[in-house]
Structure 1
Amino acid sequence: MRNVLIVEDDPMVALINKNYVKLIKNLNYVGCSIEEDEIIEILKKKNIDLIILDVYLPKKNGLELLKSLRNKGYLVDVIMVTAANKADDIKTAFAYGAVDYLVKPFEFERFSEAINKYLIKSNVLNEDDVIAQEKIDNLSSCTNTIHSEELPKGLQKKTLDKILGILNSLQGEIWTISELSSKSGISNVTIKKYMDYLENIKKVESRPVYGNIGRPEYKYVFCE
């Protein structure tokens, strides 16, 4: 279970982010704070794995807060969630080690994508004390965002993001085509096309389940 702290001064946005966190299996919402001293105390007392951090805060800019945390030796993962989309702000956030940068407003699918990046990175970096080059290369490859121009003809990024959001929201669950279709409102035939693509790029694994008669039914599990 990964503990998540939200740093956001807008109560409505904080509630939305909290609800998004609670939708994803293996994430545990710890609380919300905007005061640096309180955030430091929380980090001292609890094992915080991830901070969802806004840029515009009442006292200290979120980027300044992130810098302060790094200077104090806190290497906790951070996802920036903000309306600030200036190039310099984005460069600064990534320079201080932000996993991702979400510009408000955004949908759950995009939030889920950011969490997936974080989980992939976290799983690799926490697995061993010494990390082989192959795993470093895989980490770089897996955390790259899938762009529309990279998709095969006939596949849409919006639909793909929706399916990925569902898969990522309950990691570890095994899904059938019909279950994904029911959950997403997308036809079985369309779901199958996207699952074939995701299996090809090693985002999901298929597992045949043989019944008494007929062809095997395939179930899919999201690759962390």
Structure 2
Amino acid sequence: MTDDPELTVLVVDDDFMVASIHTRFVERSPGYRVVGTAATGATALSEIDRLVPDLVLLDVHLPDISGIEVLRRLRGAGNDVGVLVVTAAREADTVRAAAAAGAAHYLVKPFEYDDLATRLAAFRRTHRALTGVDRAGQDDIDAVFAPLGTGRELLPKGLSAETAEAVLAALGGGREASASECAEEVGLSRVSARRYLEHFVARGQAVVRLQYGGSGRPERRYRLRD
């Protein structure tokens, strides 16, 4: 990991156990530190003012005001804190409202650690894109405006976001795999799978090692970066 400062996070959820799980997930993620939790919308607003976090993990279903209303009040007050909506709510109107109010992303509960980790890694890259920059280059701008979906800013021509996510999922849980193994699991040719895997290596999302054995060229083995 780089020497960049940690990003601070406020976890907002009215279920203590869920908030605890999300806190542990965040603190497992490189470059992040949880600075507080809140169980109501009102508390969330006051804690955001007090703690000034870089990112808020915000549930929609809160006992006083909804997370969507919290987000709207933040934006109405000119507060541009990053917000990742983390909720069981799947209603299309709620998803649209979160997007319209400026949420960085929307993650449906329950989810695995890797689901959150890839979005946190993407948010970190987006957050850093313009740090210390007076005049942005196109790459910096693209990093800010690209979707955070699974942590990939822009895919090279010929690669699809859906297939990229499937390849990432094939490396979930700390698994190490070859291009051939990923290809078989996802349903791609080995050449195509390797293109995706090498893209993730180039973006810093995955690492590759050479496995030597027998005769012939060594096998390239891939895993997600810790």
Q: Is the Cα contact below 8 Å between 2:126 and 2:143 reproduced in 1?
A: no
Tell me, yes or no, if structure 1 residue 160 matches structure 2 residue 165: no
Q: What amino acid is aligned across from residue 161 of structure 1 in structure 2?
A: A
Tell me, yes or no, if structure 1 residue 111 matches structure 2 residue 102: no
TM-aligned CA distance change 1:188 to 1:129, over 3 Å:
same
* Structure 2 counterpart of 1:130: 135
* Structure 2 counterpart of 1:22: 27
* Structure 1 counterpart of 2:46: 41
Q: What amino acid is aligned across from residue 64 of structure 1 in structure 2?
A: E
TM-aligned CA distance change 1:39 to 1:184, over 3 Å:
same
The structural deviation recorded for 1:56 is 0.4
* Structure 1 counterpart of 2:63: 58
The structural deviation recorded for 1:136 is 1.5
Q: Is the Cα contact below 8 Å between 1:203 and 1:222 reproduced in 2?
A: no
The structural deviation recorded for 1:144 is 5.1
Secondary structure at the counterpart of residue 135 of structure 1: helix
* Structure 1 counterpart of 2:196: 197
TM-aligned CA distance change 1:144 to 1:81, over 3 Å:
closer
* Structure 1 counterpart of 2:175: 184
State the identity %. 30
What is the alpha-carbon distance in structure 1 between the residues aligned to residue 24 and residue 63 of structure 2?
Answer: 23
Name the count of aligned residue pairs. 199
TM-aligned CA distance change 1:161 to 1:139, over 3 Å:
farther
Q: Is the Cα contact below 8 Å between 1:7 and 1:33 reproduced in 2?
A: yes
* Structure 2 counterpart of 1:102: 107
TM-aligned CA distance change 1:218 to 1:46, over 3 Å:
farther
What is the alpha-carbon distance in structure 2 between the residues aligned to residue 188 and residue 39 of structure 1?
Answer: 45
Q: Is the Cα contact below 8 Å between 1:109 and 1:162 reproduced in 2?
A: no
Name stretches of at least 5 consecutive residues in structure 1 with no aligned partner. 167-182, 210-214
RMSD, matched Cα: 3.7
Secondary structure at the counterpart of residue 27 of structure 2: helix
TM-aligned CA distance change 1:190 to 1:203, over 3 Å:
farther
Secondary structure at the counterpart of residue 125 of structure 1: coil
Q: Structure 1 stretch 10-19 or stretch 196-205: which is displaced more?
A: 196-205
Q: What amino acid is aligned across from residue 199 of structure 1 in structure 2?
A: E
* Structure 2 counterpart of 1:31: 36
The structural deviation recorded for 1:48 is 0.4
Secondary structure at the counterpart of residue 131 of structure 2: helix
Secondary structure at the counterpart of residue 58 of structure 1: coil
What is the alpha-carbon distance in structure 1 between the residues aligned to residue 176 and residue 219 of structure 2?
Answer: 20
TM-aligned CA distance change 1:48 to 1:157, over 3 Å:
closer
What is the alpha-carbon distance in structure 2 between the residues aligned to residue 70 and residue 151 of structure 1?
Answer: 29
Q: Structure 1 stretch 55-64 or stretch 26-35: which is displaced more?
A: 26-35
Q: Is the Cα contact below 8 Å between 2:41 and 2:63 reproduced in 1?
A: no
Name stretches of at least 5 consecutive residues in structure 2 with no aligned partner. 1-5, 184-189, 211-216
Q: Is the Cα contact below 8 Å between 1:14 and 1:32 reproduced in 2?
A: yes
- With CA pairs under 8 Å and 6+ residues apart, which has the higher RCO, 1 or 2? 1
What is the alpha-carbon distance in structure 2 between the residues aligned to residue 138 and residue 37 of structure 1?
Answer: 32
Q: Is the Cα contact below 8 Å between 1:120 and 1:142 reproduced in 2?
A: no
TM-aligned CA distance change 1:119 to 1:11, over 3 Å:
same
What is the alpha-carbon distance in structure 2 between the residues aligned to residue 47 and residue 119 of structure 1?
Answer: 16
Structure-1-length-normalised TM-score: 0.70
* Structure 1 counterpart of 2:10: 5
Secondary structure at the counterpart of residue 40 of structure 1: helix
TM-aligned CA distance change 1:188 to 1:88, over 3 Å:
closer
